[in-house]
Structure 1
Amino acid sequence: MLKNILPVCLLLLLSCNSNKKESPQQKDIAIVQHERLTDEQLLDLVEKQSFKYFWDFAEPNSGLARERYHPDGNYPQNDAHVVTTGGSGFGLLSIIAADSRGYVTRSETLERLEKVAGFLKNADRFHGAWPHWMNGNTGKVQPFGKKDNGGDLVETAFMCEGIICVREYFKNGNEREKKLAAQFDELWKGVDFNWYRNGQNVLYWHWSPEYNWEMNFPLQGYNECLITYVLAASSPTHSIPAAAYHEGWARGGAIKSSNTKYGLPLIVKHNGAEEYGGPLFWAHYSYVGLDPHGLTDEYANYWDLNYNQVMIDYKYCVENPKHYKGYDPDYWGLTASYTHNPDGSTGYTAHMPSNDTGVISPTAAVSSIVYTPEQSIAAMRNFYENFNEQLWGPAGFYDAHSQQYDWSTKKYLAIDQGPMPVMIENYRSGLLWKLFMNAPEVQQGLKKLGFKSGKYGI
């Protein structure tokens, strides 16, 4: 590996040409390579740069996160104003973290969040749930698919993780901050989670005013959707019975698994990925708010569940059974992202050990920092120091990279970018976990479903 050789080589190259007049660019290279970032400096840099996706490059009218950001401005189907509900929820969390670190001023934070609150209040909602995509100019639903043109309960749950944390962060502030907290509280209470049961003891992902329940996607574990049940049980206005969690999500107990990989128990049955576990975003999306430390119920210890899934992914990449170029202990991480198609085009897929295409997604390793700090920081440093030109851009790490194909997307997706600054902040301070887990109704909802967490008195 070249990680320790490359900086020295560049410095030697510059010194060998010392008889020539150095350009400003050459001087910058020498300084960058000589002053290697500490781990804390690297974490701060990646958190701040990733946050820019949700600040500098947000959709201007709504203040929400664009579904995607292409630095070259080349958007397919003119979708520069399409905003994403779930990714915007992660964006709210990143804004709180940025405010706490002084990346932006409090007045700037309040102005942006007031804009967001006004947009969300007037945007299309379907029994309280926002759609997967919206038009940032109009607030109208932007169909994600033909029948996916109504409420998306899972994306709404990701949004509500952010909404609740905004409320908690500002609820004891000055008059303006308390007013903002009340606006976000009203948004959260407007989601009719119970209606999305369709009269059964299970939650459904979608409802459309045109196609009703035809999408027919019950939320059954295990995947990224645990947070939906926690919030549905926590709702002070439209709560679900505990039976919906135990019979629907947990499949009457059938969610449990006795499978192991690399000596690590999977603990639950990962839908469609029972040998190795699923893509790593399953260990991220629900847990940007839910603190997995010591969190248990009758089905799992959620720290063990997530740690094991991440370590299985890591060990798989190190083993590299398909012999893809570059996979090693500092270059790993499989999750949903852009991918390199056999014909050379760019697509999208849920990378995981059972669907490994030779593409590494930086969000996989970076967002896993709360579980595997040593391995995640090593990967982050490798991405930044040795693949900077291919992987580092105006909003942090680009979405995907492959040494096998000498390929990088140089594009961003909100749902992939969002967990990185949030999980880095949770690793550094636990801020978002504390806000979410101490929310009174979240504590009540967790107790209702049989969760325990001594850390938060549950």
Structure 2
Amino acid sequence: MNPLGSEAEVSRALDAVQRQTLRYFWEFGHPVSGLARDRLTIGAPADDRVAIGASGMGTMAIIAGVERGWIRRGDALERLLGTVRFLERAPTYHGVFPHWMNGTTGATIPFDRKDDGGDLVETAFLLQGLLCARQYFDRDDGDERELRRIVDRIWHETEWNWHSRGGLKVLYWHWSPNHGWSMDFEIRGWNECLMTYVLAASAPRFGVDSGVYHGGWTQGQDFRNGRSYHGIALPLGPDYGGPLAFAHYSFLGLDPRGLKDRHADYWQQNVCHVRINREHCIRNPHGYKGYGPDCWGLTSDDTDVGYRFMDPVHDLGFIAPHAALASLPYAPEASLAALRHFLGALHDRIWGECGFTSSFSESRDWYSQDYIGLDQGTTVVMIENYRSGLLWKLFMSCPEIRVGLASLGFESPHLR
């Protein structure tokens, strides 16, 4: 039985969440670049810091807004055209964007002392969104053609192979013009970064061969699992699955339905991951206040002492509403039950002008005053994929992606 009542009531509730959350990107995006802010704090002035990965997710959210009739197509086109023109002028590092930049000037804002150059994963999340925009704005119109041309230039100029450090069988997350490869962070699975390898294998100019995927991504120490947690078998990933972002970020565009390779069925992987995460919250081994079948969702997010990596193994007592809501495709009844709960007694503490805030802990009587771009984008896009599959269809319609997935040994209904 549907926790929110009739189909019409569910539709109205999902409309309300998507539309309010979309405001983060549409009404509160940076006024110069149109890029997504890294975060917004209730009652505090916004700064110029924008986030590259969240901007890709915001692009996908805006497309959903157009399709739902909440944003005029021409207005969205004007905004996104301004954004890609800004990105084309901004500094990159072998075509790779930084994690953060100044939304007025385009200058890189260091994420960390040595992280002041290219961030391959954030760039992958940006391009996931830009490729969806290229596919969506497909009319024979001057501005739509220009948008497609600029997206293609950004896409074609991204040097994925540079991040293999001269041909090693793995991709590296960061490169800095000041510090080179000194961060030395290999991108290995299983985590949220599958999209990086899919795009690297699909790239028209500076791509990598399948050996980088099989020698790097699939050789991570946490790649294969095969154990059961709470009676639920988990094909891939760390113990208990890790943060729920692993089932969301790369799958905003990559359609997990029927997606398989020799390692896993990725729909099954994500469904099992979500079920394990929720079951942990139901069993609540630490006795945190509020946890239960209608209050779940552990992922990396805010706490009262800053942003933390959280999952069932690293459970600090903080629930992220978007983690449950973005799991709607994988666990519809459980996600809708969580939505009803969040909109109920907790509503006044966690809901505001951009939808749900980042996280809360009833045990600590702490409720975030921040919205985070990654959270808001994931919410809008995964709800839309549940409702219509829109962003999955757009991304999987890219001919380069189909070639790249086939080269890595994936099967998908989209490849037939």
1:3-42 matched pairs, under 5 angstroms: 38-42=9-13
Partner of 2:227: 259
Residue identity opposite 1:284 in structure 2: H
Paired with 2:13 and 2:371, the residues of 1 have a C-alpha distance of 20
Q: Does 1:206 align with 2:165?
A: no
Q: Residue 394 and residue 101 in structure 1: after superposition, are their counterparts in 2 closer, same or farther (change >3 A)?
A: same
- Do the aligned partners of residues 54 and 254 (structure 1) sit closer, same or farther apart at CA in structure 2, a change above 3 Å counting? closer
- CA distance change for structure 1 residues 282 and 318 in 2, over 3 Å: closer, same or farther? same
What is the distance in 2 between the residues matched to 1:432 and 1:359?
29
The CA deviation at 1:107 is 1.8
Q: Secondary structure at the residue paired with 2:302? A: strand
Match of 1:143 in 2: 110
The question of 1:221 aligning with 2:189 is answered yes
Which of 284, 295, 310 matches 1:351?
A: 310
Q: 2:380 aligns with which of 402, 417, 421?
A: 421
Picking from 15, 39, 48, the partner of 1:81 is: 48
Q: CA deviation at 1:145?
A: 0.4
Partner Cα distance (1:322, 1:252) in 2:
30
| SS of residue matched to 1:119 | helix
> Matched residues in 1 for 2:174 and 2:399: separation?
28
Aligned match of 2:101: 134
Distance in 1 of aligned mates of 2:37 and 2:8: 31
The equivalent residue for 2:334 is 375
Q: Which amino acid aligns with 1:291?
A: D
Superposed CA offset, 1:411-435 (max 9, x none): 1111121100000110110000000
- TM-aligned CA deviation for residue 178 of structure 1: 1.8
Q: Output one character per residue of 1:10-32: Cα deviation in whole Å (capped at 9) or x when no partner.
A: xxxxxxxxxxxxxxxxxxxxxxx
Aligned to 1:457: 415
Measure the CA separation in 2 of the matches of 1:100 and 1:39.
18
Give distance in 2, aligned partners of 1:178 and 1:394. 34
Give the CA deviation at 1:176: 2.0
Secondary structure at the aligned position of 2:307 is classed as strand
Q: Which residue of 1 aligns with 2:33?
A: 62
Contact 1:294 1:303 in 2 (8 A): yes
Larger deviation, residues 138-147 vs 183-192: 183-192
Q: Secondary structure at the match of 1:322?
A: coil
Shift of 1:166: 0.5
SS at match of 2:108: coil
> 1:450 is paired with a residue of what secondary structure?
coil
Select which of 255, 258, 276 maps to 1:294.
258
CA distance in 2, matches of 1:91, 1:188: 18
TM-score by length of 2: 0.96
Give matches, 1:42-57, under 5 Å.
42-57=13-28
Inter-partner Cα distance in structure 2 for 1:168 and 1:36: 30
CA 1:447/1:41 → structure 2, altered by over 3 Å: closer, same or farther? same
The answer as to 2:297 corresponding to 1:330 is no
Equivalent residue number for residue 231 of structure 1: 199
Report the counterpart of residue 447 of structure 1 in structure 2.
406
Give, in whole Å, the separation in 2 of the partners of 1:258 and 1:326.
31
> Which residues of structure 2 form unaligned runs of 5+?
none
- The letter for the 2-side match of 1:448 is S
Question: In 1, Cα distance between the equivalents of 2:352 and 2:314?
Answer: 27
**Could you tell me how far apart the structure 1 residues matched to 2:226 and 2:316 are?**
27
Instruction: Give deviations 1:207-244, integer Å, cap 9, x for gaps.
Output: 00010000100111111111100000000111101000
The answer to whether the 8 Å contact 1:171/1:182 transfers is no
Distance 1:329 1:447, change over 3 A: same
Using the alignment, how far apart are the partners of 2:140 and 2:241 within structure 1? 43
2:411 paired with 1:411: no
Between Structure 1 and Structure 2, whose CA radius of gyration is higher? 1
C-alpha RMSD of the superposition? 1.8
Identity across aligned pairs (percent)? Answer: 46
Q: Is the 8 A contact 1:224 1:281 kept in 2?
A: yes
Paired residues of 2:50 and 2:101 also in contact (CA < 8 A): yes
**2: distance between equivalents of 1:147 and 1:276?**
32
CA–CA distance in 1 between the matches of 2:223 and 2:359? 31
**Match of residue 394, structure 2, among 435, 438, 456:** 435
How many residues align structurally?
412
Distance in 2 (alpha carbons) for counterparts of 1:219 and 1:191:
17
| Cα drift, residue 362 of structure 1 | 0.5
Partners of 1:457 and 1:348 lie apart in 2 by 39
Q: Residue 299 of structure 2 contacts residue 310 of structure 2 at CA under 8 Å; is this kept in 1?
A: yes
Q: Specify the alignment match of 1:115 in structure 2.
A: 82
Instruction: Spell out, residue by residue over 1:132-184, the C-alpha distance to the aligned partner (whole angstroms, 9 max, x if none).
Output: 00011110100000100000000000001001000011123423212211211
Distance across 2 between alignment mates of 1:388 and 1:400: 12
Aligned partner of residue 265 in structure 1, secondary structure? strand
The reply on whether 1:390 has 2:390 as its aligned counterpart is: no
Superposition deviation, residue 252 in structure 1: 8.4
Is this contact kept in 1: 2:96–2:158, CA < 8 A? Answer: yes
Distance of 2:220 and 2:181 partners within structure 1 = 23
Q: Deviation of residue 83 (structure 1)?
A: 0.3
Q: Deviations over 1:116-145 (max 9, x none)?
A: 011100111000100000011110100000
When normalised by structure 1's length, the TM-score is 0.87
Gaps of 5+ in 1: 5-34, 341-345
1:401: how far off?
1.1
Select between 174-183 and 359-368 the one with higher mean Cα deviation.
174-183
State yes or no: 1:249 paired with 2:207.
Answer: no
